[in-house]
Amino acid sequence: MKLEIELGGKRHLVELAQIGQRLRCTIDGVPQEADAVTIAPGIYSILVDGDSFEARVEPDGRGLRLIVGNNEWRAEVRDPREWRRNRNGTAEAEGRQQVLAPMPGKIVRVLVGAGDAVEAKQGLLVVEAMKMQNEIRSPRSGTVERLMVTEGQTVNAGEVLAIIS
C-alpha cells in the first residue's frame, strides 16, 4: 500500500507491506522493518531495531492524532489513488490506476493504444459477457501506460486490462 502522509507540515511518501509477522515500511525511499501488534483498537505495540514503542492513533477531524511516549503529532494521510475533482468539476481517480475486468468475458474491441492520452470516463475497451457488450472506461485522465490485452482475448474477472498513469 502506498500512502502520502503529511506529518508536522512535511510530506512523506510511505509504502507498507506485510511480510509474515513483520511490517516492511519504506519512508521517503528509506526501508524500515518493524514488528507491530494491535493491543486494543487504536493502540499498537511496535518493535523497531530492538526498541519498543506504544503508539496511540486517534481520529482528529481531518486526520489523525499520533501519540508515542510524550510526543504527539497531527497527521493527514492521503491515498494516491483517491478521487479528486478535475478541471471539469467531475470526480476522477488520482495516481497510477489499474483497469480491471469487472467480469469474465472476451475483448471484442480495443479503443486506445499504449501511449494514447485519455480523459476520465473515456472508453478503453469493449468486453463481451453473456452476449452483452460492456465498455470499460478510464478511471482518470492521463496516458495509457500499458495495454495488457488484445482483441479476441478471453479475460477473467479482476484481471488487469490496462494501466493508466
- pLDDT higher than threshold 80 for residue 50: yes
pLDDT at 91: 47
What is the mean predicted confidence (pLDDT) over 36-44? Answer: 84
Range 114-142 average pLDDT: 90
**Average pLDDT of span 124-133:** 89
| pLDDT at residue 19 greater than cutoff 90 | no
| Residue 126: pLDDT over 90 | yes
Q: What is the pLDDT of residue 147?
A: 92
Average pLDDT over residues 5-18: 79
Question: What is the predicted pLDDT for the residue at 127?
Answer: 92
Q: How far is 116 from 163, CA to CA, in rounded Å?
A: 11
pLDDT in tens, 97-116: 888 888 889 999 999 999 99
Residue 73's pLDDT band (cuts 50, 70, 90):
confident
Q: What is the mean pLDDT of residues 63-83?
A: 76
Tell me the domains of the chain and their CATH numbers: 2-78 (3.30.700.30), 96-164 (2.40.50.100)
State the Cα–Cα distance between residues 73 and 133, nearest whole angstrom: 51
| Average pLDDT estimate for 59-85 | 74
Alpha-carbon torsion, ordered 102, 107, 112, 117, to 10 deg: 20
Could you count the other beta carbons within 10 Å of the beta carbon of residue 101?
A: 22
Mean of the per-residue pLDDT values for the chain?
A: 82
Number of Cβ within 10 Å of residue 114's Cβ equals 12
pTM of the full predicted structure?
Answer: 0.46
More confident: 87 or 29: 29
